[in-house]
Structures are given as C-alpha cells and as structure tokens.
C-alpha cells in the first residue's frame, strides 16, 4: 500500500519545483548581464533570463494562490530560505565560462521543452495554460542552446575542450530531472504533471543527437546527484539567494 | 572575438508595415546566427513579423563626396513633382 499523498500539498510542491527551477536558472543567467563575450549574446542571455523569470511569476503565483496563505510569487521567491527551495540541482550550478553556461542551459532546455509539452496536456487547466505560454519561449531557448552547443563543441580545439569539461562536470546533475519521487508520481497519476520516467527517452534522444553533432562524448558512469527537489542543496544556492534576496529582505516595503 | 565577426544589416517588417525597414546592424559569424541575434536584439518588443539579414559588405553605398553631382541636379527641377495637376473635388484627399 502506497503512502497517502495530500494532493494539494503535492501540487504546491510540484509548482514550486517548476517555479524555483526557472527562478534559480533565470537568476544565474541574469548574472551574465554586461559580462557576455559579445553584445549580441549578452542581449540573448538577458532575454532568456527574463523569459525564465516571467515563467517563475506564473508558476510561483499559482503556487501561492493554491497554498492560500496569502503568499504571492514575490513572497515565495524572496522570503523563503535555502532549504525551502525545490529547484533542480543542475540549475544552481555556478555559471563557469560561457560554454559551461550554455551546456547547463542545453541540458535543462532538453528536459524543460518536453516537460512543458506534457504539462500543456495537464488535467489542471491553470497548469496547462502556463505551460502553453512558456512552451513557445522554451522552444526557442532549446533551439538556441542546442545550436551553440554544437557550434562550440565542434568548434576550435579550445572550445571543444571547454565544452567537454562542462559536459563532464554537469552530467551527474541531470539524473534528478527524470527521477520521480512520491510527489512526482502522485501528480503524474492524477494527470496533472507528466510522468518523468517517460521524459527520459525524449531527453536521451535529443541530447545524444546534439552531443554527437557537437563531437562531445557522453561521460561514463551512472552516478547522479539528487536532493534539490526535496530541498537538499549545494552550498552554491545559499550564496546566490543571499545576493538575490538581500534587497527585498533589507527593505521589505521598497517600491520603484 | 567580435572584431572577427562580419557585420550584418538588419531589416524588419513590422506588424502593420508592408515593407522591410532598416533597423540597424550587428555582428555574427554567419547568416543563421545573424538571424538569431536580430531576433534577440531587434524584436524584443514585438516589433516584427519578418526579418531579413544582409551582409553589410554586400551593400554598395553612394559616396558622400559625390553628393553634389548625385542629388543636386534634381533640386531645381520642380516640374518633376506631380504638383501641377488640378485635382477634381470629388477625388478628395490624395
């Protein structure tokens, strides 16, 4: 007999997992603002970051509404501590160099896009609506990150070496995306969110094709980190939140 | 790095416009990335429905030093403007 799962709590957790992942990745990508190697890529990264923050507002907005404790998206983003965050470990990894950032983006996009396609079929109309809107943005993110991973992987000796290091470093953080826990399973059984195991084949196919074209070798070994979705994070997230949350915490009534 | 990338001229057809208009230029290694950069740089505020990218090197421009011979001769040829016709009232504003 499986554990009884409170569906409201499961949905709140599921929405926080989505919203926290887009928030943390959005903030990470925004750290490039003014630092990208060329102006055009700087603007492209800022666009991606803004798309992700916009999606965060929708996911966390719905989570707050669901929860019914008068917390809006801002309250959830800026007034929770690190152990309350439910984002994937992959997205809290530091930016590294430009190639590293793009590899992280690609590995996430290759999951995010089919995930949103599944979410757009959700039995919960609010979830389906957000996913449909976000899906168009993310289809472009994936097109862009896949293209740049191929160009840099199959580029110069130096860019190839950097992309291979990025892939080797980030690979052990990808398993979490497709490994369901009781919350994921309950949401999938209720038809609210897609079955994560079912996403594996799509993700594998996409990632294998792109990495092959990029002449990059998929690392051996099956060890995968986990815990982000349950609130167990690396030290990097705390540092990021300290920067991200400082202003609204120091000046709670600040407006502009 | 950017110094090695060629320059591209970007033309965008707006929501209501019929023709593509020049909006600016940017650097990109090839046409495909120029298109993507143009999307990211010039259509962020819903400006466009279609983009053309053209290598700046493909454009032949008139020389500023030849401005006189190029354009001044038409200045005193007012008869080239179709402003000497009487427009019948029923036509209205043209």
Q: What is the pLDDT of residue A4?
A: 61
Does this complex have an ipTM over 0.90? no
Quote the pTM value: 0.89
Give percent helix, percent strand, percent coil of chain A, each to the nearest 5. Answer: 70, 0, 30
CATH class of the B2-80 domain in this structure: alpha beta
Chain A residues in contact with B8 (beta carbon < 8 A):
none
For each of chain B's 94 residues, which pLDDT tens digit applies? Answer: 445 899 999 999 988 878 999 999 999 999 999 999 999 999 988 888 899 999 999 999 988 888 888 888 888 888 788 777 788 888 887 6
Q: Does B30 touch chain A (CB under 8 A)?
A: no
Nearest CA in chain A to B27: A40
Could you say which residues of chain A have pLDDT below 50? 1-2
Instruction: Please determine, looking at this structure, whether the domain spanning A7-250 carries the CATH number 1.10.645.10.
Output: no
For residue A37, give the nearest of B1, B36, B41 by CB distance. Answer: B1
B48 by Cβ neighbours in 10 Å (0-12 / 13-18 / 19+) ranks as: buried
Helix axes A235-250, A7-30, angle to 10 degrees: 90
**pLDDT (0 to 100) of residue A221:** 75
As to burial, measured by CB atoms within 10 angstroms (0-12 exposed, 13-18 middle, 19+ buried), residue B18 is exposed
> Taking the domains of chain A in order of start, what are their residue ranges?
7-250
pLDDT value of position B4: 81
């Amino acid at each position: 007999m499986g554990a009884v799962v409170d569906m409201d709590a499961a949905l709140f957790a599921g929405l926080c997992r989505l919203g926290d992942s887009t928030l943390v990745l959005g903030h990470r990508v925004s750290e490039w603002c003014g630092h990208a190697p060329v102006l055009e890529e700087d603007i492209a990264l800022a666009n991606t970051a803004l798309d992700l923050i916009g999606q965060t507002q929708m996911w966390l907005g719905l989570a707050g509404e669901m929860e019914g404790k008068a917390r809006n998206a801002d309250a959830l983003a800026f007034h929770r501590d690190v152990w309350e965050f439910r984002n994937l470990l992959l997205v809290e990894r530091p930016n590294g160099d430009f190639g590293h950032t793009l590899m992280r983006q690609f590995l996430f996009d290759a999951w995010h896009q089919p995930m949103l396609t599944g979410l757009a079929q959700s039995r919960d109309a609010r979830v389906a609506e957000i996913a449909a809107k976000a899906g168009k943005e993310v289809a472009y993110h994936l097109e862009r990150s896949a293209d740049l991973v191929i160009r840099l992987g199959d580029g110069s000796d130096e860019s190839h070496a950097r992309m291979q290091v990025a892939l080797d470093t980030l690979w052990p953080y990808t398993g979490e995306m497709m490994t369901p826990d009781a919350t994921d399973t309950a949401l999938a059984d209720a038809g609210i969110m897609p079955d994560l195991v079912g996403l594996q084949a799509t993700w594998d196919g996409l990632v294998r094709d792109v990495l092959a074209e990029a002449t990059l070798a998929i690392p051996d070994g099956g060890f995968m980190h986990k815990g982000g979705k349950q609130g167990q994070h690396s030290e990097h997230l705390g540092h990021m939140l300290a920067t991200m949350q400082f202003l609204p915490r120091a000046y709670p009534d600040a407006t502009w | 790095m950017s110094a090695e990338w060629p320059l591209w001229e970007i033309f965008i057809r707006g929501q209501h416009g019929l023709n593509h208009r020049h909006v600016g230029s940017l650097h990109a290694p090839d046409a495909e990335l120029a298109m993507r950069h143009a999307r990211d740089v010039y259509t962020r505020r819903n400006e466009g429905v279609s983009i053309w990218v053209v290598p700046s090197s493909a454009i032949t421009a008139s020389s500023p030093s030849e401005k006189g011979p190029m354009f001044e001769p038409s200045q005193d040829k007012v008869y080239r403007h179709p402003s000497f016709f009487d427009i019948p009232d029923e036509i209205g504003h043209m």
